[in-house]
Amino acid sequence: MKETIIVIGSNGQIGTELVNELRSIYGGDNVIATDIKEPSYEVLHGGPFEFSDVLDKAGLQAIFEKYKPTQIYLLAALLSAVGEQKPKMAWELNMNGLLNILDFARTYGVKKVYWPSSIAVFGPNSPKQQTPQYCTMDPNTVYGFSKLAGERWCEYYFLKYGLDVRSLRYPGLIGWKSAPGGGTTDYAVHIFHEALKSNSYECFLSENTELPMMHMSDAIKATIGIMDADASLVKIRSSYNVAAMSFTPKSLTEEIVKHLPDFKISYVDTDPRQAIADSWPKSIDDSYSRKDWGWNNQFDLPGLVTDMITNLKK
Ligand code: AKB
């Protein structure tokens, strides 16, 4: 059956890469990119693009009517750091945006919906090492508890209405094709740009702050992987833990120095993002993803650093 896929929030860090990958699989015309802002040249010219605000129900209805999508990827969200600056807006966008899409997906008989969650669903009382799929979850950022509530809604729509919703709890995502937008893990992308530009970087997290991270191409592989999996294999309908590696600014720097021996990092110790990072897991147990639908990552830390530096140099 022909798929018609709408990606909502196509201009963000994930959307930019996901749209291109989906278009290479399903054909440019079958993947409709939507965002509130003008997209990159590649997204605009690779297939249909529509301006759309996920909070504007009339606008969404027109798009669902026009395209009759079979799959939706909802990526529009405010991330952890920006969410703390605009808490009400983060709640409104992250929560009502999701509910609008779940409702339109039901009304228009969409076959599958993808919605990203995050390691931000965990909080200060969650286990820090190898954080399990099921444990205490007491997120203390608006982003974190909007994602946790969103997970509950996704599972609810699956159980109550049979809507096939699938979701992953992303760690920090690192890629060279797109810029991150307002998260706590953004340092791990900025560091590469600054290293190549000025051989130095002032980091807003302290040197031993360990966080789970993943190369963007692994994140895209995981996203399309769970969407392609047979429905019977997707046993968790809230959101799956997924992991690839964990590192600190210090261990990342040690790896970068192998390629750029003069690179120097310094640290600011007054950034509010530190408290967010301190409330999150250091590493993630993703055994359910590996067992249920066959997740495995390609990139480890040395591979990620080599790939980032090689491609950003070009
Ligand atoms: C953020 O830092 O807010 C995001 C995330 C881990 O969900 N990258």
How large is the C-alpha radius of gyration of the chain? 19
- The residue whose CA is least distant from atom 4 of ligand 1 is 183
212 lines ligand 1 (CB under 6 A): no
Q: What is the pTM of this model?
A: 0.97
Q: Which ligand 1 atom is at minimum distance from the Cα of 185?
A: 2
230 CA to centre of own chain: 22
Q: Which ligand 1 atom is at minimum distance from the Cα of 171?
A: 6
Residues 189-199 have pLDDT tens digits of 999 999 999 99
Mutating to test ligand 1, I would choose from 146, 170, 210 the residue with most ligand atoms within 8 A of its C-beta, which is: 170
User: What type of residue sits at position 70?
Assistant: T
CA distances, 140 to each of 7, 83, 86, 133, 220 (Å): 29, 11, 14, 18, 28
Residues 111-148 have pLDDT tens digits of 999 999 999 999 999 999 999 999 999 999 999 999 99
Residues 250-278 have pLDDT tens digits of 999 999 999 999 999 999 989 999 999 99
- Domains of the chain, earliest start first: 5-171+214-241 (3.40.50.720), 175-213+245-284+298-313 (3.90.25.10)
Angle at 220 between CA 272 and CA 22, to 5 degrees: 130
CB neighbour burial string for 282-293, b if at least 16 within 10 angstroms, e if fewer: bbbbbebbbebb
CA distances, 111 to each of 14, 100, 117, 142, 237 (Å): 22, 16, 20, 30, 15
